[in-house]
Amino acid sequence: MSGTLSRRIGLFQATAINMSQMCGIGPFVTIPLMVAAFGGPQAVIGWIAGAVLALVDGLVWAELGASLPGSGGSYVYLREAFQYRTGRLMPFLFVWTAMLFIPLIMSTGVVGFVQYLGYLWPSMGRGEGDLVGLVVVAAAVVLLWRKVENIARLTILMWGVMVLAVGAVITAAFSDFSPARAFTWPAHAVDVTHGRFWLGFAAGLTIGIYDYLGYNTAAYLGAEVRDPGRVLPRAIIYSITGIMGIYLLLQVGVLGVIDWHEMLDPNSVAAGSVASAVLERVWGTTAADVVTVLILVTAFASVLTGLLGGSRVPFDAARDRVFFRSFGRLHPRHGFPVLGLVAMGVMTAAGFLIGRHTNLATLIGLLTTVMVIVQAFAQILAVTVLRRRQPGLPRPYRMWLYPAPSVVAAIGWLVIYGYADRNAPGLHPIEWSLAWVAVGGLAFLLWSRIEKVWPFAPTEIQEEYLPAKV
């Protein structure tokens, strides 16, 4: 390995990186999906449930990120927690799955970018849309081909654009707001005794947590964050609470302007570009065009910051010989992981094409089920394992009300995973996620045989973050 990462990212930058990733194109394209899941304006329940799950899971990330501030986020946490019994299996499987689900998350942003571009370019054909999406991915990779401190400044600028875009939509919505339209729920909208409500709730929770994903982006850059024990927990909590307020205002405001039935009509502007429809209805076409451009910049910012964090995931693994060693090389002048960035860019482009030729809900379902097994469940367990295995580990932040947030987070992820097949009939996301992990297990056995590590050799314990014994 050549070079090391430098700590240049502060609290404001880390929070901006998280929020830019969280509030990309997501809420602008998923408001109609959320309404469809719940069958009416009670869709606001989905945003609240998603915020609760994000917050309790964010506390898991906060403790792990503060005590294990390395490059790669979950990779470091799973490596440290599960090395005692299963060697390098869990970090290997995480990198294996992350190379799929992180680009899939980014690809949804590109799908949304093209979807909103269609408002400004109504005659855009499918082939032209595919080409535009591929150009967007390539542009993000080119912009990330530089020093991280320059990128941090760029993300702050794009974060400002995101705030402006969302603020414009919220202001427009509440300037012509109809409480009756927003708060008149259908009969039996919240019938908790009926299975249909819980099916819709699970679908809404899946969409909601997808829209909050990104609260952990700065944790992937842990080796590049100044004072990570203080910065990472605060960046995670600030970004979740801030985005929660934005999403609730956005959802309620849109429902107060656009009749929810319009969002279910695939031929309406509200179904494909609901924010543009709000602006057009309230302030006219010119304002809608301007804000649509801001939304496109916001979508691009989310792709940019996601690729920035994702490219660091295989870097630390490669340094530890748990992934292809070429992923551990840094750019000789700019100091970023070259192959990780390129690989994530290629996979994002592939995921975009899959999403374009299926639908966005399918892409969201696939990426969440793949993510749940090896990242969400495993990390929740890692907090407890590390408290028992490494009691002397410095913990600048300790989870509030432990272990209650871990339990609530586990229940939330279990609901998402358990209902995945029923919310995507015929697509079998649970089976595909299990198959992907199983293939990763076989790949690990082949790799470990070649490298002569566990299970073909004794486990190697490296408690990297424990204080040195005197």
* Per-residue pLDDT band at 44 (split at 50, 70, 90): very high
Name the one residue in this structure whose structure tokens are 């840094």: 330
pLDDT at 149 exceeding the cut of 70: no
Residue 31 lies in a domain: yes
Residue 190 lies in a domain: yes
| Cβ contacts of 118-124, under 8 Å, gap ≥ 24 | 118/272, 118/273, 119/269, 119/272, 119/273, 119/276, 119/288, 119/292, 120/289, 120/292, 120/293
Distance CA(297)–CA(162), nearest Å, equals 8
Distance CA(407)–CA(299), nearest Å, equals 33
| Mean predicted lDDT score pLDDT of the chain | 88
Distance CA(467)–CA(445), nearest Å, equals 32
Describe the crossing of helices 126-143 and 338-356 by its angle, rounded to 10 degrees.
160
Q: How many domains does the chain have?
A: 1
Helices (H), 258-403: 260-263, 269-272, 274-283, 285-310, 313-319, 338-356, 360-371, 378-389
Sequence-distant (≥ 6) Cβ neighbours of residue 142 within 8 angstroms: none
pLDDT at 2 exceeding the cut of 50: no
Distance CA(228)–CA(408), nearest Å, equals 25
Residue 2 lies in a domain: no
pLDDT at 266 exceeding the cut of 90: no
Residue 213 lies in a domain: yes
* Per-residue pLDDT band at 150 (split at 50, 70, 90): low
How many C-beta atoms lie closer than 10 Å to residue 160's C-beta? 14
Q: Which pLDDT belongs to residue 5?
A: 65
Residue 463 lies in a domain: no
Range of the domain at 169: 11-414
Residue 159 lies in a domain: yes
Residue 455 lies in a domain: no
Rounded to 5 degrees, what angle do the CA atoms 252, 257, 263 make? 85
| CB-CB contact of 132 with 110 (8 Å) | no
Name the one residue in this structure whose structure tokens are 């402006």: 164
Least confident of 187-191, 271-275, 313-317, 425-429: 313-317
pLDDT, one tens digit per residue, over 381-427 is 999 999 999 999 999 999 999 999 999 999 999 999 999 988 888 87
pLDDT, one tens digit per residue, over 59-110 is 999 999 999 998 778 888 999 999 999 999 998 899 889 888 888 888 998 9
Give the side-chain half-sphere CA count within 13 A for 133.
31
Q: Which pLDDT belongs to residue 470?
A: 45
- Which among 180, 191, 169, 205 is positioned nearest to 259, based on CA atoms? 180
Report the CATH number at residue 370.
Answer: 1.20.1740.10
Q: Is 397 helix (H, G, I), strand (E, B) or coil?
A: coil
* Per-residue pLDDT band at 366 (split at 50, 70, 90): confident
- pTM comes to 0.87
Average pLDDT over residues 115-134: 93
Q: Which residue has the higher pLDDT, 128 or 422?
A: 128
pLDDT, one tens digit per residue, over 335-361 is 778 888 898 999 999 989 988 887 777
pLDDT, one tens digit per residue, over 196-231 is 899 999 999 999 999 998 899 889 888 889 999 999
Distance CA(5)–CA(220), nearest Å, equals 12
Question: What tokens appear for 310 in the block?
Answer: 């994702």
pLDDT at 3 exceeding the cut of 60: no
Q: Which residue has the higher pLDDT, 155 or 169?
A: 169
Q: Is 71 helix (H, G, I), strand (E, B) or coil?
A: strand
Residue 265 lies in a domain: yes
